[in-house]
Every structure is written in C-alpha cells, then in structure tokens.
Amino acid sequence: MNEITLNAPAKLNLYLDITGKRDDGYHLLETVMTSVDLCDVVTIKRNMSGIIRVGCSDADIPENEGNICHKAARLFFEALDINGGIEIYIEKNIPHGAGMGGGSADAAAVLRGLNELYDYPIETSELLKIGEKAGADVPFCIVNGTKLCRGTGGIISDCPKLPKKSYLIVMPNFRCDTKAAYEQYDRAPVERKNALGRFFDEFPMCLYNVFEELYKSEEISEIKKTLIQNGAENASLTGSGAAVFGVFENREKALMAEKAFSGMYTMQTE
C-alpha cells in the first residue's frame, strides 16, 4: 500500500489548567480533552523521492518545513533511520487559531498513516513519544477519545466516562496565538485551580480554562453568555482560544442556539 487517507478529528479542552513550568521553558498542563466529529482529512502518498512535501486546501497554512506535519514525518523517518519520501495533502475543515488542535490532529494523522503504510514498525507507546516531539497535543490526537493529559501533553490516562453531549462551537472574528498566550501567562501567572475532581463529579457545570482568566476578554465572555442564554448547560474557551463552545443536551438544542450567532463562524459537533 502506497497511499492512505485518514480523518484527523478536532479536540476540545473541557478542563485546562497550567500546573507549572519546566526548566526548558515548556509549561506543564492538566487537561481533559475530548475528540469531536469535526475533522480535517489527511492523504499521504509514499514515493521514492526522499523528499517530504506538504499541501493544504487552506492558503494560510504553511506548506514547507514550518508545517507541523512536515516535522512529524521527519521525526518518523528519523526513528526508522530511513530517507523516506511522501506527499501529504490536508483538506482543512478545522479552523486554525481556534484552540481545537487542527495542526496537532493533522500531525497525528501523518504519524498514524505512516505507521500503517510502513506496516506498523513503531509501537504505539513509541509513536506517542515521537508525537510529543512534534507538538504537545499530538499524543492525544494519536489516541483520541476523552482523556486526561498531564505534563507537556504526553502523560495520557483514561478518565471517568462523561455523559454524551453535543457541542456548538463559535469562532469569533479573531484568532489566538498559542506562543503569545503562554508568554502572557508567564508575565502574569494564574493560581492553579485544583478542581479536576469537581469537574468529573459535576460535568458540564465545572468546565474550566485558565486562559479565560488571562485574557479577560469581553467578546469571549459575551459568546459564553449568549450560548447559555440559548440553552447551553455551560460554555468555555478551548485550548488557548479563540473558539468558544457550548455544551448541549442534544444536537437539536445546539442547532437552535446557532441562530443567535448570525455573522459568526459556527459548527455543531458531538
């Protein structure tokens, strides 16, 4: 097999706290992430060129070595000590700058796809380590589901099962830069929440995202308020932003609430 196409699901952070910082500058997290049914679609084709090429349907996404998928593929080939050649094409559906892990999902799909194309030479545990070198959210996006992730993202464990919900995701008219978000945290750290146990006991009433406290954004607060006024059980920022999601009992209620956001980019997912 020389070609494979995979879905790359987006993620939401249902709970996100920063617990510390390593000496090398990487921040330590405690986060509950869940995969949703919004996906990019990643196609990988093997060839004999010895070159990694990346293409994307979104002109704003880099197609050179600056793309995380290029980095993931390079790390995979380095692990096998081969000079592999591939073409990667990303059909982009997950908005970038949203905090929904689009780039990480794509990189994870590249690692999963390459491992399959090369007949699974790398065990999952090792693939997760390679993923962590590519990006903090990549290990989770390799396994998907609903998981508790700690450290820089690579310490993944199962968590109590959460009730099935539908989500309405609202993307405001701005994007957030992850690097700048963590730099803002470094300038003005927020005290650790320590509410993970309560989150599991009272989901979805105890959603939490530390970056909401950092940004203190009126627009984010207004989107959350509108979601709740229109039937959401609760609402929160995901990742370092800028997307905000509302948690609904079912898809019908999420679709009804969507009408309140004319002129904004919205999506329903589960």
Please name each of the domains of the chain with its CATH number: 3-158 (3.30.230.10), 166-269 (3.30.70.890)
User: Which amino acid does the sequence have at 159?
Assistant: C
pLDDT digits (tens, 9 = 90+) for 148-187: 999 999 999 999 999 999 999 999 988 888 888 888 889 9
**Among residues 11, 71, 193, 224, which one is catalytic?**
11
Strand 166-171: give its sheet, edge to edge.
Answer: 234-237, 244-248, 166-171, 265-269
- Provide the pLDDT for residue 120: 97
Distance between CA atoms of residues 110 and 113, nearest Å: 5
Distance between CA atoms of residues 67 and 65, nearest Å: 5
User: Which amino acid does the sequence have at 203?
Assistant: F
Q: Identify whether 224 is a catalytic site residue.
A: no
Let me know: does 141 contact 105? Beta carbons within 8 Å. yes
pTM above 0.85, yes or no: yes
pLDDT digits (tens, 9 = 90+) for 91-115: 999 998 899 999 999 999 999 999 9
Higher pLDDT, 238 or 24: 238
Q: Identify whether 201 is a catalytic site residue.
A: no
**Among residues 92, 137, 147, 224, which one is catalytic?**
137
pLDDT digits (tens, 9 = 90+) for 113-152: 999 999 999 999 999 999 999 999 999 999 999 999 999 9
Token duo for residue 205: 């009433």
- Provide the pLDDT for residue 145: 97
